[in-house]
Structure 1
Amino acid sequence: MIAPRRYLPSISALVAFEAAARHGSATQAAAELSLTQSAVSRQLRTLEEQLEVSLLAREGRGLALTPAGAAYVEKVRDILQRLAQASVSARTDPAAGALNLAILPGFGMHWLAPRLSDFATRHPEVTVNLSTRLKPFDFRTSAFDAAIHFGREDWPGVSYLPLLPEIVVPVCRPGLVEGEATDPKALLARDLLHLETRPRAWLRWFRALGADVDLPPGMVFDQFSTMAQAAIHGLGVALLPTFAADPYLARGELVLASDRTSESIGTYYLVWPSDRPESVPCRSFITWLAAQAESD
């Protein structure tokens, strides 16, 4: 319920009071507001009569706040600022804004980034900001609206949109392996390259093909791109997702190291906090990404 009219001064009276309090002068307040000094004085008098309290006292040629006026002006400034912000928001497209997205570097570079131009074309009102995060985090203490997650549905407090399974292929420099090995264990004769966030990826790949092996230690990398470069330079065999391997395979920089080419070791998801309403930009992104995943 709105307060009684007697407690709701006019905006013009509040603006005049705030300016006079800030300048300590009705004359300077009038100059700032493009009014006459008498008009500002009338606004101040009307405000005091409506509130039945003295807000300003004449002090020499200037005006000084009374204790009641000093307390009142702080609240008036806050109200005027919030009213101005609300007015700006009312004029702004409610669908506009920023989407802060946490991504995994390999997936972001090879799968998501090439598609973002389509989102920008369809939703020019949304600015997408990308930052790298390798592990789940607490949305309550971060500025992120959503994130790319790999693995299982084990991130607490989020909603999930499945994007695609991670299909991996073993790749190496041309000539490192003679043809495509028909026996997966033949790859053990070469150095195997590992990803820091997938320490068991090779083991799962071998076991999926029915080969129970003891893996020798090998070089460890923090990103698919650096591991791919190591493979290109002959440092070993890398296990890459198809979306990361395909460009290198197409250019002939890498070749398949086994005819047992693909096994799924997890799923990529878009996740966002389930305990707060989705912003319009976030909902636009979720809808668009769901269509991208379906058509991929």
Structure 2
Amino acid sequence: MDWSRIPSLSALRAFDALARHGSLSAAARDLNVTHAAIAQHLRALEAHFAETLATRDGQAMRLTETGYELAEALGEGFDRIAEGVASILDRNALRPITVSLTPTFAEVWLMPRMRQFWDRHPDVEIRLLPSILLSDLRRDGIDLAIRFGTGEWPGYEVEPLSVSRFVVVAAPGYTKVKSLDDLGSLGAYDWYFSSAANEQRVWGRAIGVDFDKVGAMDMANNGMVLSAVRSGLGLSIQSRTLVEPDLASGQLVTLHEGDPEGLGYYIVTRPGVLTPGARAFRAWLRSMAQTQT
């Protein structure tokens, strides 16, 4: 396409409005510009084509034969553009929002609150992909991720999501440890983790417990871990939200709590514009996190 032969798109848009409304004033109101601006665009187009495109007929403007020809072409072109834009907007508005997140976050924090999101946004479909693996948002077609760590993921837009804290818990009387050094000296048979909960190991390393050296017992899921800990078989790192009822009843006690600086959950998105559904979900996550802090 030779763009040098095509007039200013602003002028073409002004002429399209003039052709549809039949007057300079009406076209100006439609485009929220001045009467003089529409007249100036008309003169620029007539100079470009070296032909008269419209003549004054009282308060109205009458198109010439060339003006009708241009108006018909512009109408078809702008209508096609509008259809294409609407198609993309509708597709993005209706397609499911794909969210990558850790299994622990999904189980402990998100799923108990999802009804509140769908009550506000019943037309937004959310597709959750729980995994301990670090997904490539662009390659895997992911709109938004919720990751646990220090927030250092280059190439992405990252913002902290302040949610529940983690704690070290055990059954009453299981151990008499009173410091982080004591925790670090415990053996592999003392620690119970879920293989689907990477946060437990990340948080533990951040407080100074080297699990590569100490070791731990891996269970298939976090429910089994909690059952073992409640039975007095060992201790574990858990979201405080999840074990709050056990702490309140005295079935479990905390041995250490307090998140290391910078460590926590983060909302991670690709640079650029999010779909309307993804924006709504991100805004809801922010608001829910604020009510929990």
Q: TM-score by structure 1 length?
A: 0.57
Q: 1-side partners of 2:137 and 2:265: how far apart?
A: 18
Match of 1:193 in 2: 192
User: Mapping of 1:36-75 within 5 angstroms?
Assistant: none
> Could you tell me the percent identity over the aligned residues?
26
Q: 1-side partners of 2:211 and 2:157: how far apart?
A: 37
User: Mapping of 1:153-172 within 5 angstroms?
Assistant: 153-164=151-162, 167-172=165-170
User: Mapping of 1:16-31 within 5 angstroms?
Assistant: none
Is the CA contact (8 Å cut-off) linking 1:167 and 1:264 kept in structure 2? no
Match of 2:207 in 1: 205
Q: Secondary structure at the match of 2:178?
A: coil
Query: In the alignment, residue 217 of structure 2 is paired with which amino acid?
Result: M
User: Mapping of 1:64-213 within 5 angstroms?
Assistant: 89=87, 95-164=93-162, 167-177=165-175, 181-187=177-183, 188=186, 191-194=190-193, 197=198, 198-199=200-201, 201-206=203-208
Match of 1:30 in 2: none
Is the CA contact (8 Å cut-off) linking 2:98 and 2:141 kept in structure 1? yes
Query: In the alignment, residue 191 of structure 1 is paired with which amino acid?
Result: D
Match of 1:243 in 2: 241
CA 1:119/1:176 → structure 2, altered by over 3 Å: closer, same or farther? same
CA 1:98/1:251 → structure 2, altered by over 3 Å: closer, same or farther? farther
Query: In the alignment, residue 133 of structure 2 is paired with which amino acid?
Result: K
Is the CA contact (8 Å cut-off) linking 2:247 and 2:254 kept in structure 1? no
Match of 1:283 in 2: 279
CA 1:152/1:221 → structure 2, altered by over 3 Å: closer, same or farther? farther
Match of 1:256 in 2: 253
Is the CA contact (8 Å cut-off) linking 1:97 and 1:125 kept in structure 2? no
CA 1:151/1:224 → structure 2, altered by over 3 Å: closer, same or farther? farther
RMSD after superposition: 3.7
Q: TM-score by structure 2 length?
A: 0.58
Match of 2:289 in 1: 293
CA 1:247/1:128 → structure 2, altered by over 3 Å: closer, same or farther? farther
Q: Secondary structure at the match of 1:131?
A: strand
Structure 2 alignment gaps of length 5 or more: 2-79
Match of 2:265 in 1: 268
1:101: Cα distance to partner? 0.8
1:293: Cα distance to partner? 1.7
Deviations 1:28-68 (A, max 9, x none): xxxxxxxxxxxxxxxxxxxxxxxxxxxxxxxxxxxxxxxxx
Q: 2-side partners of 1:91 and 1:263: how far apart?
A: 41
Q: 2-side partners of 1:92 and 1:239: how far apart?
A: 44
Q: Secondary structure at the match of 2:153?
A: coil
Is the CA contact (8 Å cut-off) linking 2:230 and 2:252 kept in structure 1? no
Q: Secondary structure at the match of 1:135?
A: coil
Is the CA contact (8 Å cut-off) linking 1:192 and 1:218 kept in structure 2? yes
Structure 1 alignment gaps of length 5 or more: 2-81
User: What is the total number of aligned residue pairs between the two structures?
Assistant: 206
Deviations 1:115-143 (A, max 9, x none): 21111011111011111121322222213
Is the CA contact (8 Å cut-off) linking 1:102 and 1:144 kept in structure 2? yes
Q: Secondary structure at the match of 1:147?
A: strand
1:241: Cα distance to partner? 2.4
Q: 2-side partners of 1:213 and 1:236: how far apart?
A: 15
Query: In the alignment, residue 131 of structure 1 is paired with which amino acid?
Result: L
Match of 2:26 in 1: none
Query: In the alignment, residue 267 of structure 1 is paired with which amino acid?
Result: G
Q: Secondary structure at the match of 2:273?
A: coil
Q: 1-side partners of 2:156 and 2:282: how far apart?
A: 13
Is the CA contact (8 Å cut-off) linking 1:150 and 1:269 kept in structure 2? yes
* Aligned residue among 213, 228, 232 for 1:234: 232
Query: In the alignment, residue 135 of structure 2 is paired with which amino acid?
Result: F
1:150: Cα distance to partner? 0.7
Is the CA contact (8 Å cut-off) linking 1:139 and 1:273 kept in structure 2? yes
Q: Secondary structure at the match of 2:260?
A: strand
Q: Secondary structure at the match of 1:141?
A: coil
